[in-house]
Structure 1
Amino acid sequence: MATVVIAIDESKFAQYAFRWYAEHLHKEEYKVVLLHALENLFMKDMMGPGRHEEFNIKAEKKAVALKELYTKLAQESQVNPEIRVERVDTKPEHAIVDIAHKENAKFIVTGTRGVGVIRRTVLGSTSDFIMHHARCPVVICNMD
């Protein structure tokens, strides 16, 4: 069974990418992993004890909201995914590439915010990183 990893977050760009995948690429035999990599990098060290607990509560609420949102989108699109929100000790784009590799993904789907060349060059881009570092094909969905 081929695995497809779709990077998700709460943005309209990620939702568009999921819908585009469902309409254009999905096959019933695919194992679909909707993945949100929640950056946990140095959070414990950067925050005091109360702030870390606050971060955990917000993270858990975000995870529940994402799972609810994508469960609804999946039902509408007739896709039966595994929805994962994983805390990672690295940047999300690194985790997406690593997890896709571990899952032996056939391909990765991600959205893009469509930022300009200068901003992307200075700040970097999650989709650019995934495209250049993944060991499998990457589908980048742009709303424009």
Structure 2
Amino acid sequence: MEKSMEEPEQKRIVVGVDDSEQSVYALEWTLDHLVVPFIHADRPPFKLFLVHARPTAISVLRMAGPGAAEVLPMVELDLKRIGNRSLEQAKALCHSRSVDDVEIEMVEGDARNVLCDAVEKHTAEMLVVGSHGYGAIKRAVLGSVSDYCAHHAKCTVMIVKKPKH
């Protein structure tokens, strides 16, 4: 078969998933605007990759002080549980919209790096992240994942803001 006669490859979208309402809203927005309208096409134009960045237990305990090492295994287990729950809820949300061709993954590390790496790994055309709407001080202390990704991801970055009601 000639190259021009082949079906075009599906474009890939990476969606950052965590347990926040902003993340859920960003996934809902992506499904409703970019995926579901094409669900009955022979081949939907987008393939979704849901990525959860799981912080390391040591990074969580860094501020806990002496004796923190004793609880390291429990924190590690809890972080995995939170990540699995976030991904299962995201997958269920996709399924509720009849979107079943979804890949999920949990990667340990800082969300900024994990999401930018996922873009490269999956050769994504777009990265979708939710906006937590932090103020300037909190953003300066915590760092903005969406801001970092907007400047460093090697694709288009869609920052989805949840409307304030």
Question: TM-score if structure 2 supplies the norm length?
Answer: 0.76
Whole-Å separation in 1 of the counterparts to 2:124 and 2:59 = 29
Quickly say closer, same or farther: Cα 1:45–1:7, change in 2 above 3 A: closer
- Tell me: CA distance 1:45–1:127, structure 2 relative to 1, closer, same or farther (3 Å): closer
Matched with 2:104 is 83
Distance 1:56 1:118, change over 3 A: closer
CA separation of 1:64 and 1:119: change in aligned 2, threshold 3 A: closer
Give the aligned partner of residue 10 of structure 1.
Answer: 19
Partner residue of 1:130?
149
1:31-70 mapped onto 2 (5 Å cutoff): 31-40=47-56, 42-43=58-59, 47-48=68-69, 50-70=70-90
Contact kept in structure 2, 1:44 and 1:52, CA below 8 Å? no
Q: Can you list the C-alpha shifts for 1:50-69, whole angstroms capped at 9, x where unaligned? A: 32211221022113311321
Change beyond 3 A, Cα 1:59–1:122: closer
Give the superposition deviation at 1:45.
Answer: 9.4
What 5-or-longer segments of structure 2 have no aligned partner? 1-9, 39-43, 63-67
Q: What is the distance in 2 between the residues matched to 1:116 and 1:101?
A: 30
For 1:23 and 1:55, locate their aligned partners in 2 and report how far apart those are by CA, in whole Å: 35
Taking the aligned partners of 2:81 and 2:57, their CA distance within structure 1 comes to 18
| Residues 1:52 and 1:10: Cα distance change in structure 2 (over 3 Å) | same
Letter in 1 for 2:103: E
Bigger shift: residues 96-105 or 76-85: 76-85
Structure 1 residues 115 and 43: CA distance shift in structure 2, 3 A = closer
Task: For structure 1, list consecutive stretches of 5 or more residues without a partner in the other structure.
Answer: none
Give the Å deviation of 1:21.
Answer: 0.4
Distance in 1 between residues matched to 2:48 and 2:141, nearest whole Å = 33
Give the secondary-structure state (helix, strand or coil) at the position aligned to 1:130: helix
Greater relative contact order structure (CA < 8 Å, 6+ sep): 1
Question: Cα RMSD between the aligned structures?
Answer: 2.2
Q: Is the 8 A contact 1:43 1:52 kept in 2?
A: no
Aligned residue number for residue 113 of structure 1 = 132
Structure whose CA Rg is larger: 2
Share of identical aligned residues, percent?
A: 27
